C-alpha cells in the first residue's frame, strides 16, 4: 500500500466500513474540479483497498463534457491498473435537462439498483456572457432531471454538494445560492431516492496554499500575494474554511457505504431555523444534510492573513467598499471569488448574529477519532523528525491574470477603479473613496489616462513621421543603428 494511501483519512479511519459495504457503482459529475478530483482519488483508493482484500472493488463512471481528454490525463496520473474500474461518458449540464435523456443515458451504461450512487459535484458559481441562464441550467435543471432519472432507475443514493451561502440572508438574491437552494429542496421532494446534502464552506488545500481552484489559475488567495491587499467591507465576516481532503474523504465515505450508516445532524433550535428548508417528516429516514464546514470560525481578514503566512508573506490589508469589487464580479468571476461569495460576506457582516455551521456531525462521519484539519495547525505542522512541513508557496500568477483580463475585457474599467480605490485608500485613508470624492477621482484618473494615451500617440506619430520622411526622402530605408557602409 502506497504512502499516499496510508495518509488518506478515508483509509486511516474507515477501512473496515469500506470492506463491509457491497461494491458500489458510482456516477461522478465534476470529476476534474478542485473537490471532484480529490473525491475520485479517494474512491480509487477505496477500490484498491477492497481489491487488496480480495473483494469486488466497484466501479466509477465519470460524467464529463470532454471524456476522452479527461481519461487520457487520468491514465497518465493513475496508471492502467487503478483505472481499470473507471469509465467515462459525455454529458452537458448546460443542455441536458430532460428526464428521458438522463434515464436512458444512465440506463444504457448499466446503472441502476440499490448499489448505484450519483455524486453531483458539478456546479457553476459565476455568470456566462453567452448564456444568461447558465447557472440555473447547471445548478438546478440538470441535476434535478438527473435525480428524477435516478429515482426511476432505483438508485440507492444521491450525494449533493451545496453551499453555506444558501443559509445567508441574501441567498435568494444571488443566482448561484438561489439555484442551489432550490435544487436541495427539490431533492427533498423526490421521496424514493435517499439523499445526502453537504453544505460546503470555503474549501482550501493545505498542501498548495490555495482556495477552491487549480494552482495554475488565479484565485482568491492570490490577493494576499499583492503588496497591498483589498479587503471588502470591514473584514469581520465569519468564514469556516474546510480543508479539501477532509471534504473529499467524507463525501467518498458516504458514497461508498450504506446510506443507513449515516448519522443525523440535529438542527439547532434557534431564531434562524428559517434558513433551513422544511423537510417532510416522511423523509427523515432517507434524507441527511450536513454542515460541511471547517472547525475554526475566522474573519475574512484573519483568513487572508493566514494564507499570506502560509505563503511566507506579510499581509498589508486595505479596507475598500463592496461597490467596485461587485462591479468587477458582475462582468466575470475572479476564480472562486464571485458575486455569491461577496453577497454571503455582506449578509454575514451586516447580521447581528451571523449564521455559522456546526461541523460536529460532519467531522464524526469517519468515526470518533477522525478530526478536521485546523488551518492554524498548518503553520506549526512538523514531520516525524520534527522538521516544519512547508506548503507549496505561490507567486502571483501574472500570466493567468493577463489571460483573465484578455478573456473578460469588460473588467478593465471597473478593475481600474478598484485599483485606484485600493491604492488611494492605502495612501490617503478611507476618506479617499467616499462618494462625494469618488466622482472627481474617476474623472481625474480617466483624464490622466486619456491624456497619457494622447501624448503617447502623438509622440509615436511624430517618430513615425520622422522615420517615414527619412525613408521617402532618401529613396530607401535608413541603415540599422551601428551598421556602417
pLDDT in tens, 246-259: 999 999 999 999 98
Dihedral of CA 337/343/348/354: which sign?
Answer: negative
- List the chain domain ranges: 3-379, 409-468
Q: How crowded is residue 98: how many other Cβ atoms within 10 Å of its Cβ?
A: 14
What is the model's pLDDT at position 269?
Answer: 43
Q: What is the pLDDT of residues 177-236, one digit of tens each?
A: 889 989 999 999 998 999 999 999 888 887 755 554 444 467 777 888 888 998 888 888
Comparing 102-106, 334-338, 372-376, 389-393, which segment has the lowest mean pLDDT? Answer: 389-393
Evaluate whether 138 touches 124 at the Cβ level (below 8 Å): yes
C-alpha cell, 375: 488551518
In DSSP terms, which residues pair with 334 in a beta bridge?
337
Who has greater pLDDT, 452 or 81? 81
pLDDT digits (tens, 9 = 90+) for 153-188: 999 999 999 987 777 666 667 778 889 989 999 999
Side-chain half-sphere CA neighbours of 334 within 13 A: 22
- Considering only the C-alpha atoms of the chain, give the largest distance between any 2 of them, rounded to a whole number of Å: 96
Confirm if 189 and 279 have CB atoms less than 8 A apart. Answer: no
Q: How far apart are alpha carbons 166 and 178 in whole angstroms?
A: 7
pTM over 0.85: no
CA atoms within 13 A on the CB side of 79: 4
* Three-class SS state of 239: strand
Task: Give the span between the Cα atoms of 145 and 148, in whole angstroms.
Answer: 5
Contact 39, 10 (CB under 8 A): no
Q: Which residues pair with 210 in a beta bridge?
A: 205
Task: Say how far apart CA 143 and CA 183 lie, in whole Å.
Answer: 7
- Strand pairing report for 195-200 and 287-292: parallel
Confidence of residue 94 (pLDDT cuts 50, 70, 90): very high
Length of the chain: 485
Domain covering 3-379, topology = Rossmann fold (3.40.50)
What DSSP state is assigned to residue 30? S
Sequence-distant (6+) residues with CB within 8 A of 412 are 405
Give the span between the Cα atoms of 334 and 369, in whole angstroms: 37
Mean pLDDT for the chain overall: 82
pLDDT band at 439, cuts 50/70/90? low
Q: Which three cell numbers stand for residue 86?
A: 473507471
How is residue 290 annotated by DSSP? E
Amino acid at each position: 500500500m502506497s504512502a499516499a494511501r496510508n495518509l488518506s483519512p478515508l483509509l486511516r479511519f474507515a477501512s473496515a466500513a469500506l470492506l463491509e459495504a457491497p461494491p458500489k457503482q458510482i456516477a461522478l459529475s465534476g470529476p476534474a474540479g478542485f473537490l471532484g478530483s480529490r473525491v475520485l482519488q479517494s474512491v480509487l483508493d477505496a477500490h484498491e483497498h477492497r481489491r487488496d482484500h480480495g473483494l469486488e472493488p466497484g466501479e466509477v463512471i465519470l460524467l464529463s463534457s470532454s471524456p476522452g481528454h479527461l481519461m487520457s490525463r487520468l491514465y497518465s496520473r493513475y496508471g492502467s491498473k487503478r483505472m481499470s474500474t473507471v469509465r467515462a461518458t459525455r454529458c452537458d449540464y448546460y443542455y441536458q435537462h430532460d428526464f428521458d435523456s438522463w434515464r436512458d443515458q444512465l440506463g444504457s451504461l448499466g446503472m441502476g439498483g440499490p448499489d448505484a450512487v450519483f455524486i453531483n459535484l458539478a456546479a457553476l458559481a459565476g455568470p456566462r456572457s453567452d448564456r444568461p441562464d447558465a447557472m440555473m441550467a447547471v445548478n438546478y435543471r440538470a441535476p434535478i432531471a438527473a435525480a428524477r432519472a435516478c429515482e426511476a432507475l432505483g438508485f440507492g443514493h444521491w450525494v449533493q454538494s451545496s453551499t453555506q451561502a444558501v443559509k445567508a440572508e441574501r441567498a435568494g438574491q444571488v443566482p448561484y445560492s438561489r439555484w442551489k437552494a432550490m435544487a436541495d429542496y427539490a431533492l427533498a421532494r423526490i421521496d424514493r431516492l435517499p439523499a445526502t446534502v453537504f453544505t460546503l464552506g470555503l474549501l482550501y488545500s493545505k498542501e498548495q496554499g490555495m482556495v477552491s481552484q487549480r494552482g495554475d489559475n488565479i484565485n482568491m488567495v492570490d490577493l494576499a500575494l499583492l503588496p497591498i491587499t483589498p479587503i471588502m467591507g470591514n473584514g469581520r465576516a465569519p468564514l469556516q474554511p474546510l480543508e479539501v481532503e477532509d471534504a473529499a474523504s467524507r463525501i467518498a465515505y458516504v458514497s461508498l457505504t450504506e446510506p443507513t450508516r449515516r448519522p443525523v445532524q440535529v438542527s439547532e433550535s434557534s431564531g434562524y431555523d428559517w434558513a433551513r428548508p422544511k423537510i417532510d417528516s416522511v423523509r427523515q429516514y432517507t434524507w441527511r444534510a450536513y454542515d460541511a464546514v471547517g472547525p475554526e470560525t475566522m474573519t475574512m481578514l484573519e483568513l487572508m492573513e493566514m494564507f499570506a503566512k502560509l505563503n511566507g508573506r506579510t499581509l498589508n490589508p486595505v479596507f475598500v467598499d463592496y461597490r467596485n469589487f461587485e462591479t468587477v464580479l458582475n462582468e466575470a468571476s475572479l476564480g472562486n471569488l464571485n458575486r455569491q461569495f461577496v453577497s454571503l460576506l455582506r449578509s454575514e457582516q451586516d447580521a447581528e448574529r451571523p449564521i455559522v455551521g456546526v461541523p460536529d456531525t460532519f467531522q464524526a462521519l469517519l468515526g470518533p477519532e477522525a478530526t478536521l484539519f485546523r488551518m492554524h495547525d498548518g503553520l506549526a505542522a512538523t514531520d516525524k523528525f520534527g522538521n516544519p512541513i512547508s506548503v507549496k508557496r505561490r507567486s502571483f500568477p501574472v500570466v493567468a491574470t493577463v489571460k483573465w483580463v484578455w478573456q473578460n475585457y469588460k473588467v478593465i474599467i471597473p478593475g481600474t477603479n478598484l485599483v485606484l480605490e485600493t491604492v488611494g485608500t492605502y495612501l490617503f485613508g478611507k476618506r479617499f473613496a467616499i462618494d462625494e470624492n469618488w466622482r472627481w477621482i474617476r474623472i481625474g484618473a480617466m483624464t490622466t489616462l486619456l491624456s497619457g494615451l494622447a501624448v503617447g500617440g502623438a509622440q509615436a506619430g511624430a517618430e513615425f513621421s520622422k522615420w517615414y520622411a527619412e525613408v521617402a526622402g532618401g529613396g530607401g530605408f535608413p541603415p540599422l543603428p551601428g551598421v556602417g557602409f
